[in-house]
């Protein structure tokens, strides 16, 4: 399926709070992974931060899918 710029509008919805929440989750997961990679904390903390980063990435993905599906209706 070729990329169409109009399809990007389904995700780019800065007037909705879900859009900013998706960005916050994705930025937070990136920051957590960067911290774990740079600092290399103890194993327990590393595991906890890694799981939190994975959960944030999953929630960001879920919100992106929701925005994509609801993008054509608004």
- Domains in the chain, number: 1
Burial class of residue 24 in the structure, from the number of CB atoms within 10 Å of its CB (0-12 exposed, 13-18 middle, 19+ buried): middle
Query: Worst-scoring range by mean pLDDT, 7-11, 41-45, 57-61, 66-70?
Result: 7-11
Whether 39 is in a domain gets the answer: yes
pLDDT band at 2 (very low <50, low <70, confident <90, very high): low
When the pLDDT of each residue in the chain is averaged and rounded to a whole number, the result is: 89
| 14-40: average pLDDT | 95
| 42-58: average pLDDT | 96
pLDDT of residue 35: 96
Whether 52 is in a domain gets the answer: yes
Domain containing 27: what range?
16-68
Whether 30 is in a domain gets the answer: yes
| 32-58: average pLDDT | 96
Query: Rounded to an integer, what distance in angstroms lies between the CA atom of residue 54 and that of residue 26?
Result: 10
């Amino acid at each position: 399926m070729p990329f169409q710029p109009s399809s990007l509008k389904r995700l780019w919805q800065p007037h909705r709070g879900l859009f900013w929440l998706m960005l916050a989750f994705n930025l937070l997961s990136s920051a957590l992974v960067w911290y774990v990679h740079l600092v290399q904390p103890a194993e327990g903390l590393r595991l906890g931060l890694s799981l939190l980063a994975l959960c944030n990435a999953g929630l960001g993905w879920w919100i992106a899918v929701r925005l994509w599906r609801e993008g054509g209706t608004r």
